[in-house]
């Protein structure tokens, strides 16, 4: 089946996007990402160590931009200004690469997005030629505004970042999908494979996750499970599920030709 995800004009076969944080070491990061089959992977931009540890290995050596579409994020930014500065640095770091993940957080306890700062940052970034995939709340009005500003993917949370609480409000995700033309990708909240499948069955274009894989007891095994869940959920969505029919059970086997009952 030729089912392609297109973001900002580029085609992807995998609908699972994964983060690269919270792994034990680079070997585990690499193995988990390989098992996930993801083509788009998020990275963070942080201050370099300045001479303390010159032989520290680099993330980009194990996850080369030639093999993956790297999606630099602004995790940890609480203002539009910091998010924009971070992504300008990312673009320089990655030789002009313009596809980015914008997230502007509201507070460190919930990591809930600050949509006012997010809108401001999106406006600036789009004007500067960035292709912005944006993490946001599951508010359909804000989602629409972010699309109107020119964002290339809308990425609502399903529940709080790192919570593993799953898809808490499928109705809002559906409201967003009804209003937005660009891909809607669930970002944050997925805890296990069934959550990813549910997001895909709802019709989401993809799922982005990090902690659900990295914090599993066996991350590489979970990465494979997520790959299968996203594929299964997508196929089920395309196949079109049967309607739910409470109180009108319908047997799967024919009613005709049943052998006669001995008790009558």
The catalytic site residues sit at 101
Q: Considering the rule CB under 8 A, would residue 166 count as an interface residue with other proteins?
A: no
Q: What angle do CA 130, 186, 42 make, to 5 degrees?
A: 50
Helix ranges restricted to H, 79-169: 80-93, 115-127, 140-149
Residue from 5, 38, 40, 43 binding other proteins (CB under 8 A): 43
Residue from 20, 36, 124, 172 binding other proteins (CB under 8 A): 20
Q: How far is the CB of 64 from other proteins (least distance, A)?
A: 10
CA distance 91 to 222: 31
Q: Considering the rule CB under 8 A, would residue 59 count as an interface residue with other proteins?
A: yes
Q: Considering the rule CB under 8 A, would residue 92 count as an interface residue with other proteins?
A: yes
Q: Considering the rule CB under 8 A, would residue 85 count as an interface residue with other proteins?
A: yes
Backbone angles phi, psi at 199, to 5 degrees: -60, -45
Residue window 206-235: x/- pattern of binding to other proteins, with contact defined by CB under 8 A: ---xxx------------------------
Backbone angles phi, psi at 34, to 5 degrees: -60, -45
- Quick one: which H or E segment has residue 18? strand 16-18
> Token pair of 49, please?
């160590």
Residue from 1, 11, 46, 108 binding other proteins (CB under 8 A): 46
Residue from 44, 168, 232, 236 binding other proteins (CB under 8 A): 44
């Amino acid at each position: 089946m030729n089912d392609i995800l297109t973001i900002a004009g580029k085609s992807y076969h995998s609908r699972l996007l994964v983060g690269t944080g919270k792994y034990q070491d680079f070997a585990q990061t690499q193995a988990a990402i390989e098992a996930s089959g993801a083509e788009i992977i998020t990275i963070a931009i942080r201050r370099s160590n300045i001479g303390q540890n010159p032989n520290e290995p680099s993330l980009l050596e194990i996850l080369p931009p030639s093999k993956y579409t790297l999606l630099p994020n602004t995790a940890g930014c609480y203002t539009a200004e910091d998010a924009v500065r971070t992504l300008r640095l990312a673009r320089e770091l990655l030789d002009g690469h313009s596809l980015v993940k914008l997230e502007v957080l509201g507070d460190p306890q919930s990591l809930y997005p600050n949509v006012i700062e997010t809108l401001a940052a999106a406006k600036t970034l789009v004007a500067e030629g960035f292709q912005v995939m944006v993490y946001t709340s599951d508010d359909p009005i804000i989602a629409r505004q972010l699309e109107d500003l020119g964002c290339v993917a809308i990425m609502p949370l399903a529940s709080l970042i790192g919570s593993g609480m799953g898809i808490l409000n499928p109705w809002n995700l559906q409201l967003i999908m009804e209003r937005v033309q660009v891909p809607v990708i669930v970002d944050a909240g997925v805890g296990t494979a069934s959550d990813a499948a549910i997001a895909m069955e709802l019709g989401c274009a993809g799922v982005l996750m990090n902690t659900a894989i990295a914090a599993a007891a066996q991350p590489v095994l979970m990465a494979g499970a997520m790959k299968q869940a996203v594929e299964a959920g997508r196929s089920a969505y395309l196949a079109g599920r049967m309607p739910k029919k409470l109180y009108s059970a319908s047997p799967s086997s024919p009613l005709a030709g049943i052998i006669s009952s001995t008790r009558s």
